[in-house]
Each structure stands twice: as C-alpha cells, then as structure tokens.
A and B are shown apart, each in its own frame.
Chain A
Amino acid sequence: MGNKKPVTEGKGANNIMKVIIVGCGRAGSLLATELMEVGHEVAIIDRNPLAFDKLSGEFQGNMLVGTGIDEEVLVNAGIREAEVVFSLAKGDNTNIMVGQIAKFLFKVPRVMVRIVDPRMRRFYEEEIGLSCYCQTEISVNFYKNFLTGGSQPCI
C-alpha cells in the first residue's frame, strides 16, 4: 500500500482491468483501494452510502449505492465491460445470486464470491460452477496450522 505508481511488472504494462466489487465492508473497501492504487479501474457497490467512508480518501473509483442483485445497478457499474467481479457482501445468499448473475447472465470472465458456510461453498463450487472463497475454511486451516506449529501459515 502507499505505492501510487501503477504496477508494471508481471504480465505486461497494460494489464489494467475493469473490476466490480459488491459490498464495501472491510474486505471490499481494502480490496477496492489497493486495486485502484495499482491502476485498475474499480467500481464498488453497497446498499449503505455510509459504507464508502471505509474507502481511503484517495479512492477515485466509481461508488454506487444499491444492491448487487439489481441488474440495473450492475449495468451502471459497468458489468458489460467488466473483466472481474468480486461479491463480498454480508450475506452468502446475496453473493451467490450476484455471482450467478455476473457469471451466467453477463458472462463476466472471472467471478469470485465469498461464501461463509463451507457446505454451501462446496455445493456452489462443485455443482453450480462458481469460484468461491470461504473465509471460514481458510481461517480454520490457519488456526490448525498454528496449533501444529506450522511456521508458514497460508497467507
């Protein structure tokens, strides 16, 4: 963080992506800020306008008040051109619906949704084909690793 120069290493200098983030909570706001800082084009959606206070003062991306399950809000956020959608809203079900709208209706190439319930994560990944991130499973692995004295946790 703090580095305002666009990242130019890696897959090429022009690796700027259009990203939509649904949910401006702790994770969403931090992700939005950091992606913007390395030069990506970020739009962030939240139901509560006060949620955008969590963004860094320098955030220049698009902020949209509304729910991510509303097609109109997603279109205004630029989902037709988006390359990546992250759905990090509070409820699993909201993320599941946003993920399916983005992936199957708008054919966004890369969609990642947060699902807190591990069994739901498995079902939606294996049966429905969503890419999911389950913080519960990841935290538990981290704790188990700590317990067994693992020196390098998963992050």
Chain B
Amino acid sequence: MYIIIVGAGQVGYYLTKTLLDEGYEVTLVDWNYDRVQLLEQELGEVVIYASGSSITGLEKAGCSRADVIVAVTGDDEDNLVISQLGKRYFQVPKAIARINNPKNENIFNELGIGTTISGTTSIVDAIEGYVAKKKISTLLTFDHNEMALVELELPEEAPVVNRRISEIALPYECLIALILRGRDVLFAKGDTLLQANDLIIAISTQSGRENLREVLLGKTGEGQ
C-alpha cells in the first residue's frame, strides 16, 4: 500500500511517522524547502521537495501508483486541488482531504472531494459534547459526510427513559445501534428498555440528527 501525504505540517509529519511505523510505504510532499530539509534529516528520502498541488509535483511523488492520497496542508484551496488531481488526474482510489475552515465542508462535499476530515469541527463537537450533555456528538462521518455515527447520553428527565425502543417514534433516517450502560454493551432491539444515563450510539443522516435529538431528549434540549 503506497500512501502520498501532501503538507508537512504537524499533521502531515505525525501521520507519516505513524504510517511508516505501521509498515506502509509513504511519501511526504511539501514545497517549503526549509521544512523539507529539516524533516529529511529525520525521515530520510521519504520526504520530497515538490509542489503537491501541481501535476508535475505529484508525478515526482509517483502519484499514478499511489493507493491513497492525503491532503493536509493549511490551505483548503490547496487541499481541494490536491485531492481533485489525485482522484481525477492520477486515478488514485482513495483521496482524503483535511478541511481547515469548517465553512468549506459543504463546498467540498458538493464538489465530491473524497473523504474529508475537519479537525475544527471535531474539536467543536468535542467541546459541545462536553459543555452540553444534552447535545449529540459526532463520532464519525462517512459517505461524504452525509451519514454520521453519533452518541448522546440520556439524562434522567429525557422523555424516552423507561420506554422500549419499539415504542419510540424514531425519525426514518436514524437507527439506534448500541446502548452503553455502565460496563455493558447492549445491541439495540425493539424490546430494549432505555434507562437514565444510557449512552446511545446511533447512525443518522446529518439532516436527521436534530430530529433524533428532539425525540430522545425532548424539544427543550438546547438553550435551557
């Protein structure tokens, strides 16, 4: 498996090291000469000096035989071009792009830029999950960010406490998958009885998330 990483910032650097440790063949591409020289001392010829958002630079990195291309520069326009070139010009099977500004998530998804990872959004979700227990946190997104694996904790006053899953009118586009209760993992079935402090893991479309929250936590879940 050959992986090309474009952008030798902190993310690119640690990602390269981790993937090398796991035995993958990796090339790290950056167009900052000083940064490349510095990293070359540690990582050797894995690091190359080239423009990862140009056809010539990606050719130099051997992009046509890559299995995965990862764009983790600090500029979203560069990450967009890198993944687009990877997918459409070099036919790399898997392209992953980092999104720095969460406002660009919608644009990347609309333009079909492979899998996207937004560090900012994850951190915001983590904060919101921490600050307000009454919120849904996203654990993972897939299918171009359309689908999400979400988690939420049931407070004692939640309307669904002491009700069976079959009695709850769940939105069509949501599915409760697991219930974590203390140390127990319960696979959600129709007759599973929900209890206070249950941690619910559900699969939902992004648009179904708020409906799911309302059904499980009640309409006053936020801002109270």
Contacts and interface: CB of A to CB of B under 8 A. Distances in A.
A117 B88 contact: no
A72 B101 CA distance: 13
B81 A119 contact: no
Contacts of A119: 54-56
B80 A97 contact: yes
Interface in B109-123: 110-111
Given A69-B76, A100-B111, 7 more contacts: A69-B104, A69-B107, A94-B77, A105-B110, A105-B111, A117-B55, A120-B54
Contacts of B45: none
B106 interface: yes
B183 interface: no
27 contacts: A69-B76, A69-B77, A69-B104, A70-B103, A71-B103, A71-B106, A71-B107, A72-B103, A93-B53, A93-B77, A93-B81, A94-B77, A96-B84, A97-B80, A97-B107, A100-B80, A101-B107, A104-B110, A119-B54, A119-B55, A119-B56, A120-B54, A120-B81, A123-B55, A123-B89, A127-B88, A128-B88
Interface residues of A, number: 20
Interface of B: 53-56, 75-78, 80-81, 84-85, 88-89, 103-104, 106-107, 110-111
A117 B54 contact: yes
A104 B53 contact: no
A91 B85 CA distance: 16
Contacts of B85: 123
Contacts of B78: 93
A101 B78 CA distance: 14
Contacts of A72: 103
B116 to A, nearest CB: 14
Given A71-B103, A71-B107, A97 B54 contact: no
A71 B80 CA distance: 15
Contacts of A96: 77, 80-81, 84
Contacts of A70: 103
A120 B162 CA distance: 60
A74 to B, nearest CB: 10
Nearest to B85: A123
Contacts of A71: 103, 106-107
B77 A97 contact: yes
